[in-house]
Structure 1
Amino acid sequence: MRNIPTDIYIENEAVKNHGGEIAELGKKAMIVTGRHSSAVNGSLDDVRAVLESQGIGYVIYNDIEENPSVETVYTAATAAVKYGVDMFVAVGGGSPMDASKAISMLAKNGIVCENAEFSENEGVVKAEKCELPDSIAKVEELLYTPAKLPFYPIVCVPTTCGTGSEATPYSILTSHIKHTKKSIAHKIFPSLALVDYGYLKTSSYGGMKSTCVDALAHMIESRLNTNANAFSRAYAEEGMRLWASCKGCLETEERFAQMTDDEFSTFMQASVLAGMAIAYTGTSIPHGLSYTLTYENGVPHGNAIGVFLSGFLKKYGDSTEVEYVVKQLLGFDDIDAFRDYIRTLFGKLDMSEELWKKDRDGILANPAKLKNYPFELTADMLDDYVRYYNA
């Protein structure tokens, strides 16, 4: 059983309220973020203000792309070493938070690009030159080989209500060598998570749907999981109850535009609970199937998971457990109603037969995902996932 060592605060102005705890973690920070959303929703300004008020130096690395790659975290780690960073503040959705964990570990262990050159403008660091090794496979081997390696402290400031990365030890990176997304082998919990629903208010409708369904999948996959225990079930079940109370907010853009502070707060709480649940269990089959769809077809992460959820429930080996999840926790009349809800959000699954077979056969050869599924899984059963969703 895994304890969650992260100090998690869910409150208004969480960043401003906990500057002292941030200051205890290091003397110079790298803010890890993307280029746009953190600047728009105010989270980046809040973090900068608190670091400055605490006398903590910082640089900003804002080249984290959606579904961050091994190459990106390697370059960022090189910058962190060059600028003498000893802590990280991840600001944004799952991409910056996941990336910061890998960056922290690489930087702490001196896995850097030799002869790299960077420029700095108003605190923002850019790579001017960073020659990757002859084969990035050497870096991937370190990331994906289990070992106990040290890492620098990490503060997570989530601005979406989906990944729950602020409460998990997982770092999902894109491997261009393997043409997929995959969690690194190292378990790296953040030291501190500062969760403020106010940052959700600038979310787009599409972004909100995708991230919310990602959180929903975490809870379903954790609850129906080989590794489920009393703690993970409690987190997943309470999270699903909260999520269900606001699920109507996602059905139309008009309803989304009318969301209240309480509804944003509820989704954010559900996302954190979902992250806490999968910290114990890991994810299962829908997540495993989603990575190929995202890498090959560019489908957003939550959408790619969502299209496999109803089939996962339909073919799951314990109908009593499924009925409890679908009816009692999520408030749907049956699995068909759940499927129809997801199709309202994302439409039907559009995936070539060739790509689907690659995806299907890949999950059947993936022991890390299969071990989290408590029943036998066959190719015909997986084919039924797609047939049922698109029926």
Structure 2
Amino acid sequence: MRFFVPTNIYIENDCVKNHADLLCAIGQRALIITGHNSAAANGSLNDVTNTLIAGDIPYLIFSEVEENPSTDTVEKATQIAQKFNADFIIGIGGGSAIDAAKAVALLLVNPDINADEIHNAPNHPRNHAPVVAVPTTCGTGSEVTPVSIITNHKINLKKSIPHVIFPELALVDGKYLASAKKQLIVNTAVDALAHMVESILNVKSNLLNRMCPEYGLKLWGEIKYALLLDCDNGDKNGAAPNATPIDAILYEKLMLTSTIAGMSIAQTSTAVPHGMSYDLTLHAGIPHGPAVGYFLAAYVEVCAKFVPQDVEKILSLLGLKNAEEFREMLCKLIGTCTVTREMRNQFAAAMKENHSKLDLVPGKITPEDIDYIYKKSLVVE
């Protein structure tokens, strides 16, 4: 059994300010990588820049990261980092910004790697510039994983790059969720849920690494009523009668749960639902959280054939009676997804060849099982 998370993690209110000394000790010149608006709106960018100014650390801001960051964006940011002589990278935002920060950290010290070739397997382990992660969404857990998902539009590929890049420091503060829209919180929370479910329903699951998703699922089960309350895709009937809206206390719990979920997949990797989600995101423009969530209930059903006790444990921790309740909850949170029959068949055919994900299923998953998951999860127009 093995458990390894080398990231120095702090989860608390005013986290950046409280640990300014650690942030400023990472390097001498920083490139901040973030999205277009959210980091400025939620105060995280201001917290980081004020800390760098107080620590006399020169910095430059690259605020052009899109959802599902592309190789073109990563290449542009790397060129800016090189010209600025940055020696460390700060990613502020959701998984897109932090994943982009990791990729830039790799390219910055490996000029022989072209961004469009970043998905190619390395001939040997690569060094990378230090990364600081300041997450502002409650889903990806990228602040504690070695994974960077990058999209190459030239070849229609969305995939994790084959390089291990753990952030050196993660500063996690729930207050940054306060300005997020409810549906964004729901979408990213569903992603965190998938991380924990896929970590348990996984051949790499063991006694040590199960501690994270089991605790995280218990927390998620306590949060679900607030997520369901007045959800855009459901109604008040999905929540408990005494459910309270998401507030500052729940922000902290959501961020804690997300980080725990990230620690979970850092040990096991994601499994089939994540593998299936990438085509929906790339070809149908579905946000990542819902794209994963659409496949989650059917994946649980299939895994119940192989590891029924694990499925029962997951449902119990979430406070759900059965897989059908699980499906209904997800439908209320993220709705349904409609695709053409041709798209669904193409996605299924490609997934049947994706052994990097299929080999993680705790049982002999069949092509018929894959077809079942797609048919159960997607609505055909």
TM-score (norm 1): 0.90
Contact 1:81 1:110 in 2 (8 A): no
* 1:53-85 deviation per Cα after TM superposition (whole angstroms, max 9, x unaligned): 001000000000000011111111111001100
Unmatched tracts of structure 1, length 5 or more:
113-137
Match of 1:308 in 2: 295
Match of 2:248 in 1: 261
Give the counterpart of 2:125 among 139, 148, 156: 148
Contact 2:344 2:374 in 1 (8 A): no
Mapped pair 1:345 → 2:333: yes
For the residue of structure 2 that corresponds to 1:373, the secondary structure is coil
Match of 2:187 in 1: 210
Mapped pair 1:356 → 2:340: no
For the residue of structure 1 that corresponds to 2:92, the secondary structure is strand
For the residue of structure 2 that corresponds to 1:232, the secondary structure is coil
Match of 1:67 in 2: 68
Shift of 1:144: 2.6
Contact 2:3 2:208 in 1 (8 A): no
Segment drifting more, 61-70 vs 349-358: 349-358
Contact 2:227 2:246 in 1 (8 A): no
Rounded Cα–Cα distance in structure 1 between residues aligned with 2:314 and 2:36? 38
Rounded Cα–Cα distance in structure 1 between residues aligned with 2:162 and 2:375? 34
Rounded Cα–Cα distance in structure 1 between residues aligned with 2:362 and 2:260? 22
For the residue of structure 1 that corresponds to 2:339, the secondary structure is coil
Rounded Cα–Cα distance in structure 2 between residues aligned with 1:59 and 1:2? 35
Segment drifting more, 16-25 vs 257-266: 257-266
Contact 2:229 2:245 in 1 (8 A): no
Give the counterpart of 2:266 among 279, 283, 288: 279
Give the counterpart of 1:157 among 134, 142, 146: 134
Match of 1:246 in 2: 223
For the residue of structure 2 that corresponds to 1:202, the secondary structure is coil
Shift of 1:319: 1.7
Give the counterpart of 1:181 among 145, 158, 163: 158
Match of 1:91 in 2: 92
Q: How many residues align?
A: 365
Contact 1:77 1:111 in 2 (8 A): no
Shift of 1:145: 1.3
Shift of 1:388: 3.2
| Paired residues for 1:198-237 under 5 Å | 198-237=175-214
Rounded Cα–Cα distance in structure 1 between residues aligned with 2:247 and 2:24? 33
Shift of 1:142: 4.0
Rounded Cα–Cα distance in structure 2 between residues aligned with 1:379 and 1:298? 26
Contact 1:313 1:322 in 2 (8 A): yes
Give the counterpart of 1:336 among 324, 329, 354: 324
Match of 1:323 in 2: 312
Segment drifting more, 59-68 vs 103-112: 103-112
Match of 1:45 in 2: 46
- Structure-2 change in CA distance of 1:153 and 1:266 (3 Å): same
For the residue of structure 2 that corresponds to 1:342, the secondary structure is helix
TM-score (norm 2): 0.92
Shift of 1:374: 2.1
Shift of 1:109: 1.4
Rounded Cα–Cα distance in structure 1 between residues aligned with 2:273 and 2:350? 13
Rounded Cα–Cα distance in structure 2 between residues aligned with 1:351 and 1:210? 19
Unmatched tracts of structure 2, length 5 or more:
237-242
* 1:159-215 deviation per Cα after TM superposition (whole angstroms, max 9, x unaligned): 000000000000001121332310000000000000000001111112111100000
Segment drifting more, 260-269 vs 303-312: 260-269
Match of 2:10 in 1: 9
Shift of 1:2: 5.0
Contact 1:205 1:253 in 2 (8 A): no
Rounded Cα–Cα distance in structure 2 between residues aligned with 1:352 and 1:257? 39
For the residue of structure 1 that corresponds to 2:319, the secondary structure is coil
Mapped pair 1:139 → 2:115: yes
* 1:244-293 deviation per Cα after TM superposition (whole angstroms, max 9, x unaligned): 10101111337899212221111111100000010000000000000000
Match of 2:257 in 1: 270
* 1:301-358 deviation per Cα after TM superposition (whole angstroms, max 9, x unaligned): 00000000000001112222111111x2111111001100111112222121111122
Contact 1:160 1:200 in 2 (8 A): yes
- The residue type paired with residue 200 of structure 1 is L
For the residue of structure 2 that corresponds to 1:212, the secondary structure is helix
